[in-house]
Amino acid sequence: NAGVTQTPKFQVLKTGQSMTLQCAQDMNHEYMSWYRQDPGMGLRLIHYSVGAGITDQGEVPNGYNVSRSTTEDFPLRLLSAAPSQTSVYFCASSKKSGGLTDTQYFGPGTRLTVL
Amino acid sequence: AQSVTQPDIHITVSEGASLELRCNYSYGATPYLFWYVQSPGQGLQLLLKYFSGDTLVQGIKGFEAEFKRSQSSFNLRKPSVHWSDAAEYFCAVGPGNNNDMRFGAGTRLTVKP
């Protein structure tokens, strides 16, 4: 199994550009989530999904959109990139029974720089 | 709201020495507590978790953690550190309002030969 995969690994954007970070999992997990990791701040939850067609906001949702059309995929869209969105982004998945407080499986991350 | 404090930003230990990483939490009820490890350039991997029961929890790679309700702590320990343990360690607490976890800022571990 590939687990949780993320593309791209690295991305540089200019302020105002839009892009989509891809996330896919092959473990048939219902729960998927997006975090950003900033120095000295740990991981902060951006958006999450409890199943196909259902998404909700986390701690820091502003400037990001998500959708969940399939169980496997959970893309994160930056609508108009800002330098404050420079960060490392992690996607994670977990089983429905435990939700976000069950063991989460993390992807390798996407390092995004916004100039 | 729940929160997690990891007081040590960076710790250096010698290979073979014992290790203790501190984690203090704030939570209104019995928390779910987690320790994750992040190796350089990698995603996070679960080391261990506590939901209920025995307050001493065993995890992977020889790590253990002890839940102390009276001290609101969940410190991570390892009796003998290996060079491969050099990584960043995150403590997390939940569930929160979104049934999510809150992560601490992390402790970076350096292992001296």
User: Cβ–Cβ of B41/A108 closer than 8 Å?
Assistant: yes
Interstrand relation of B102-103 and B64-68 (parallel, antiparallel or unpaired) = unpaired
Quick one: pLDDT band at residue B53, thresholds 50, 70, 90?
Answer: confident
The predicted-structure confidence for B72-96, as pLDDT tens digits, reads as follows: 999 999 999 999 999 999 999 987 7
If you ran DSSP here, which 8-state letter would residue A104 be given? -
The predicted-structure confidence for A83-105, as pLDDT tens digits, reads as follows: 999 999 999 998 865 555 678 89
Check: CB of residue A107 under 8 Å from CB of residue A9. Answer: no
Contacts of B9 in chain A (CB under 8 A): 40
Distance from C-alpha of B103 to C-alpha of B105, rounded to nearest angstrom:
7
Contacts of A40 in chain B (CB under 8 A): 9, 105
Determine what percent of chain B is predicted with pLDDT higher than 70. Answer: 96
**One-character DSSP codes across A63-76:** TEEE--SSSSB--E
B→A contacts (Cβ < 8 Å), by residue, are 4, 9, 32, 41-46, 49, 90, 94-95, 98-106
Q: Which of B46, B11, B27 is nearest to B93 (CA)?
A: B27
Quick one: residue A99, left, alpha or beta (phi over 0 = left, psi -120 to 50 = alpha)?
A: left
Q: Give the gap in angstroms from C-alpha A76 to the nearest C-alpha of chain B.
A: 17
Q: Give the gap in angstroms from C-alpha B51 to the nearest C-alpha of chain A.
A: 10
